[in-house]
Amino acid sequence: MDTKLYDSELKVMDVLWREGDCTARHIADVLAETVGWNVNTTYTLIKRCIGKGAIQRREPKFLCHALVEKQTVQQAETDELIGKLFDGSADKLFASLLGRKKLTSDQIQRLRDIVGELE
């Protein structure tokens, strides 16, 4: 899937990523409760995701299955963010993130561990 998913579509995908395969009706119920959407709005977004190749529809009862993993979408969104706002530089993104709040010593150590694994 090379097509971008928009925020509203990501809300639909998030239900599938959290709960696994479920009916369109269940997704609509979850999003009605959490976001306040009506059934038609959710069904329209599910159809868009199907059209983009992110969701597969199966029977019975319009069972939805995520065709794209959350990690894949996270990576694409991160790459877009880095390219758009940080001149393609991941270190500028990290500097911006780290400069926003005071980190605990445990958080700093976890970051060191992550960087160590990348080397």
User: Between vectors from CA 56 to CA 63 and to CA 9, what angle results, nearest 5°?
Assistant: 95
Q: Which H or E run contains 49?
A: helix 39-51
CATH number of 7-66: 1.10.10.10
- How far is residue 69 from each of residues 18, 24, 64, 66, 82, measured CA to CA in Å? 11, 18, 14, 7, 20
List, for residues 51-78, the tens digit of each pLDDT value. Answer: 999 999 998 889 999 999 999 999 999 9
List, for residues 31-53, the tens digit of each pLDDT value. Answer: 999 999 999 999 999 999 999 99
Question: Please, are residues 62 and 23 in contact by the beta-carbon 8 Å criterion?
Answer: yes
3-state helix, strand, coil in the chain (%, to 5): 65, 10, 30
pLDDT band, very low/low/confident/very high, at 91 (cuts 50, 70, 90): confident
Question: Please, are residues 31 and 97 in contact by the beta-carbon 8 Å criterion?
Answer: no
Question: Please, are residues 58 and 65 in contact by the beta-carbon 8 Å criterion?
Answer: yes
Q: What residues does each domain of the chain span?
A: 7-66, 90-119
Q: Look at residue 24 and tell me whether its pLDDT is greater than 90.
A: yes
Q: Which H or E run contains 95?
A: helix 90-98
